[in-house]
Structure 1
């Protein structure tokens, strides 16, 4: 994690001279998984609740894990500065490091355990498909074109494609295996058909040889060697070019950016808790980058369970904050993460792409725009501008790229992650300025916070000169 405790001069026990500030990855494989596994097993919470350092046997029993596996995990955690070890007396005893106490236990107010578990169970699995995401990002036809074919709606081959689109046969079959009103028809040859000659489009999962679909034309892009279709009970995978990798990683539709994140109530709760944790570290920084006290009504769009809204209400007691979220997230928040400031902070269910936005003086878009393409962001910002009261504004909270787009590294990696999990990217200040200006916002100002996220404030002009929230611009 980017935020970390101040490094001290004395190292952890058993590692002289090494500071507990943050783990050193040095680009070695497996290091993220050490952290993810330790969080999933509950290692740091076990040690936090213990009366003192524990040996391997006690930790193994507490985790319900094998002694050998536990010992190997503990040994890897020490040089990563996740654990301290005391070897006096000939027996190794382990305790949480300063870093782990601050960020890896459930009891810490700045703990990041839920977010790390989400990264391990969802984000990291998408990164296994990075090469394919890079290969197909934004393409409307296979890269290079060599040997590429296309199956078109209605059968036959598209321009430059293979003749004969039956996915069961070699090129030249001439069968009408085609995309027809959301279904895939197999070859009419009795030897190539199952009892049910059509398979539902929505059920096409499991065969990585089908490479993509052009959403504009419905064409299914394939390569000649990929024309064989399995005859088993399993159905077939369909990937559209430039899509996120949810279908490959989880078998869920790529068109819904939150289908994998919300793939079960437990996963939805974990992600929602993870966002709560992020704002426990970075919320105050982004909310005090500008003086927001003139804005009396605030709407946090896609604000999760309301952690950032709660901090806003605490920092600016004169405001009232509405969290605008989809119903399932609001229900999760009310059931599992109730707010102590209910009254000053409230929820309104809705989809900010489909439903009218509540009128407000200030809209917060925190970690929202990076999910979406420029076109989608423009539509959302236009809706925000339309709903915003004159003199109001929008606070955008994102990782902002340097002017040349070549750093910082965390933002560059964030863009790759958007390639894998969404359809957007991280952006430069100039790119944010252009999006906001096109929607009608002016008074653009960027504040680097020194934390994970930066803050941008832009305003909607008053009918006459002057607007609230101008301090710091």
Structure 2
């Protein structure tokens, strides 16, 4: 007979509740609970927090209790009344003003990815993304759908930024990129990864090559301090000629596309490269045997729901690079979400 504990499906029940946890975190960020606690500089009661965020007392009490249960808030009891304060992690990652804030990423997860995932069953059945059902926009041109409005584009760019604030340094230092003085970040968005490059390698300059509207929005919303070593170049990397560089970076680009499109893009880079140049891929690598990591496996499902692409193993990326002419291909794991693959010409 099996012991009684084995009969209780603890893990399965946890998984069933996974989306409840996500939405609790999303809502707390959207309401600004963590920001209010940061500004107060002292523990607050549910009443004070509910007034500050403009929410019902009953709803706020329940939300705060759940956040405390998730260890995102500390509780302090005084005269039978409970007061709340941010944990260190919440202060660093869940407040909007923090340089390492994940709030933008969370907002994108809540308002875009969450809606797409509502149609995961359809995506798996049909083998394609679900933009039409989720948002009523055609996904014929992937980035027309992703960037369907300026507001949506700014959200997407903030999402990209927040990840590089946390993982960027690790991926640009996984290999020694010191020899490459002129770097081109293809699809580099608003420049968060480029900034990590210039911090790690004081000698280098980085050109961000992206769609004209991305460059325009970057200028309006993101590029605050004039970094002399980062510049922008408008274009479509599938159609327009690429700037000459010693190193081309493709960070979270190839996972959006089919193998055919990846090879098409890598061949264009290979042609633009002079001998001695290289290409750096930054992606969440799957284990060779497909056993994990779980994050990359889940991201691959997200690629199904949101794009034409998939997450791949180091060997699969190496094969795409080799098919495009690159040699001496290596990959390095960072121990965080994103890893690095380097190929040479």
TM-score range normalised by the length of the shorter chain: over 0.9
**Do 1:45 and 1:106's aligned partners in 2 also have CA atoms closer than 8 Å?**
yes
Instruction: Report how far residue 125 of structure 1 moved.
Output: 0.8
Residue deviations 1:236-284, cap 9 Å, x none? Answer: xxxxxx3x11110011112122334322222211221121111111010
Residue in 1 aligned with 2:161?
Answer: 276
1:115–1:277 CA contact under 8 A, matched in 2? yes
Cα deviation digits, residues 388-435 of structure 1 (max 9, x gap): 121010010001110112211111101100000001101011111110
1:120 aligns with 2:5: no
TM-score with structure 1 length normalisation? Answer: 0.68
Greater Rg, structure 1 or structure 2?
1
Partner residue in 1 for 2:4: none
Where has structure 1 moved over 3 Å in runs of 4 or more? none
The Cα shift of 1:89 comes to 1.8
Q: Which has a greater percent of helix?
A: 2
Distance 2:35 2:299 in 1: 29
Correspondent of 1:294 among 155, 179, 188:
179
Whole-angstrom distance in 1 between the partners of 2:45 and 2:201: 48
Deviation track 1:35-71 (CA, whole Å, cap 9, x = no partner) reads 1111111111111111211111111111111111111
SS of residue matched to 1:259 = helix
Mapping 1:293-312, distance limit 5 Å:
293-312=178-197
| Alignment equivalent of 2:27, drawn from 37, 47, 59 | 37
CA distance in 1, matches of 2:191, 2:182: 15
Post-superposition shift, 1:341?
Answer: 5.0
Give yes or no for the alignment of 1:251 onto 2:136.
yes
Note the aligned Cα RMSD (angstroms).
Answer: 1.3
Question: What CA distance in whole angstroms lies between the structure 1 residues aligned with 2:313 and 2:147?
Answer: 29
**d(CA) in 1 for partners of 2:79, 2:149:** 48
- Could you report, residue by residue, the CA deviation over 1:53-111 in whole angstroms, capped at 9, with x for unpaired residues? 11111111111111111111111111111111112321111111122112111222211
CA shift for structure 1 position 360: 0.6
The match for 1:106 is: 96
Tell me, in whole angstroms, the C-alpha distance in 1 between the residues paired with 2:310 and 2:228: 35
1:318 aligns with 2:195: no
Following the alignment from structure 2 to structure 1, what is the Cα–Cα distance between the partners of residues 340 and 93? 23
Partner of 1:54: 44
Q: Which runs of 5+ in 2 are unaligned?
A: 1-12
* Equivalent residues of 1:299, 1:360 under 8 A apart: yes
Unaligned runs of 5+ residues in structure 1 are 1-24, 138-241, 461-473
TM-score by length of 2: 0.93
1:94 is aligned, of 71, 80, 84, to 84
